[in-house]
Chain A
Amino acid sequence: MNQFIEWISQPWPWYVAGPMIGLTVPALLILGNKAFGISSSLRHICAACVPAGIPFFTYNWKKEIWNLLFVLGTAIGGFIAINFLGNPDTIVISEATQADLKALGLTNFSDLMPEEIFSWDTAFTGKGILFFVIGGFLVGFGTRYAGGCTSGHAIMGISSLQWPSLVATIFFMAGGFFMTHVLLAPLMKLVGF
């Protein structure tokens, strides 16, 4: 039992995490005939809270309540994992990434998130505007325009062998590479790193 607890509190390797995430696909299909996809929850929240007569948000979102319960569960899972199954050691980030990020002005690599960014102190400064307001906006706008995110396209879509989802995934990665290698450094400089 102690060994099990020790194992479960270590970071899980990709070959455990990946298949578990992949199993979400048949779990949702078999338990409820539901297609896996998370960004839809954002649309349902808009439809529930601010439909404003917009056709895109005028539909029976209550039928999709399962999707909102799923993301509620995801938040609960985050709470359980961090509080009860937490990794006792500090995160191990690749040396090369640490060197690159040091050059961008980050200094602390001991937590899951860079503390220079992820705190309420920065939320309403230039840093917060870049990392949360602009970043979050692009995630919400882009996923809806693309008709899905990593779960709906990269996992559910490619798993069901649909080429439009492969195209979407390629462009997710292209956008990420472009931001990381071209835009991130000047943008971080601009907000005071």
Chain B
Amino acid sequence: MDSIADPNCVAPNSSQTKDKGLALLKYVLIGTLFGIVFVKAEIISWFRIQEMFRLQSFHMFGVIGSAIVTGIISIQLIKRLNIKSIQGEAIIIPTKEFKKGQVIGGFIFGLGWAITGACPGPLFAQIGSGYTVVLVALVAALAGTWIYGRFEKYFPN
């Protein structure tokens, strides 16, 4: 078993080629750019998330909305032009099956998002930005993930 067959994994690695050594650095680099944007556009700010959920600022809706539009255009281009990965592989976009978890789990995540002011990405960027107390939230998020995995079969899905 070399891959995760579980559709719960939303970020599967579809690559057949194994990245080794320096080739792995590119993921650090893309992550770094991503983290810079998170801070520079104040997406890591607890206040910006409050503004969003109170419908008092367009900023976060603009960020998420334009990210989705950019993503849609990019994926359409990849599909229509049959663009391959730099390793020469056909690009695979994993299918997401509908599950009750997207409703129940999604709602639970939303409750947490409004408390911490962070989804998982900003958690890491906040810690890097010097808000080290967010490490407590990260450990708690790992505990939440672990508890879900441990008792998975008892939750309706």
Contacts and interface: CB of A to CB of B under 8 A. Distances in A.
B37 A12 contact: yes
A82 B133 contact: no
A77 B111 contact: no
Contacts of B102: 146-147, 153, 164-165, 167-168, 171
Contacts of B69: 18-19, 22
Nearest to B106: A171
Contacts, number: 554
Given A14-B66, A17-B37, A145-B148, A140 B74 contact: no
A76 B35 contact: yes
B41 to A, nearest CB: 3
Interface string A126-145: 00101111111111111111
Contacts of B148: 56, 140-141, 144-145
Contacts of B98: 163-164, 167
A1 interface: no
A80 B114 CA distance: 26
A113 interface: yes
Q: Is the interface of A mostly helix, strand, loop or mixed?
A: helix
A165 B119 CA distance: 16
Contacts of A193: none
Interface of A: 8, 11-43, 45-46, 50, 52, 54-57, 59-60, 63-67, 69-82, 85, 87, 91, 93-94, 96-97, 100-101, 109, 112-114, 117-120, 122-123, 128, 130-165, 167-181, 183-184, 187
Interface of B: 1-4, 6-16, 19, 24-54, 56-72, 74-75, 77-78, 83, 85-87, 89, 91-99, 101-121, 123-134, 136-150, 152, 155, 157
